[in-house]
Amino acid sequence: MANAESVVFRKSYHIEGGNFQSAGSVSKKIKQILKQLNIDGEIIWRAMIVAYEAEMNVVLYASEAEVILEISPKKICMIFKDKGPGIPDIPLAMTEGYSTATREMRERGFGAGLGLPNIKKTADNFDIQSTVGSGTQLIIDINIF
Partner 1 sequence: MQLHEIVKLLGAEVLVGAGDLDREISAVHASDLISHVLATCTRGALWLTGLLDSQIVNTAELFDLSAVVFVANRRPTQDIIEAAEMENVPVLCTQYTMFESCGLLYSKGLKPSRRCG
Ligand X SMILES: Nc1ncnc2c1ncn2[C@@H]1O[C@H](COP(=O)(O)OP(=O)(O)OP(=O)(O)O)[C@@H](O)[C@H]1O
Name the amino acid, one letter, at 66: E
Minimum Å gap between C-beta 48 and partner 1 is: 5
Q: Of 125 and 131, which CB lies nearer to ligand X in the complex structure?
A: 131
Report whether 65 contacts 80 (CB < 8 A).
Answer: yes
Contacting ligand X within 24-53 (CB under 6 A): 53
Q: Of 3 and 36, which CB lies nearer to partner 1 in the complex structure?
A: 36
115 sits near Mg ion (criterion: CB under 5 A): yes
Measured CA to CA, the distance from residue 129 to residue 106 in angstroms comes to: 25
Contacting partner 1 within 105-134 (CB under 8 A): 108-115, 117-118
Of 24, 63, 64, 90, the one binding partner 1 by CB under 8 A: 24
Contacting partner 1 within 44-83 (CB under 8 A): 45, 48-49, 52-53
Task: Return the exposure string of 85-102: e unless at least 16 CB atoms fall within 10 Å of the residue's CB, then b.
Answer: bbbeeeeebbeeeebebe
110 sits near ligand X (criterion: CB under 6 A): yes
Task: Tell me the site size for Mg ion, rule CB under 5 A.
Answer: 2
Q: Of 53 and 70, which CB lies nearer to Mg ion in the complex structure?
A: 53
Residues in the chain: 145
Name the amino acid, one letter, at 80: F
> 89 Cβ partners below 8 Å, 6+ apart?
none
Which contiguous run of DSSP H or E holds residue 41? Answer: helix 41-61
Of 48, 58, 67, 142, the one binding ligand X by CB under 6 A: 58
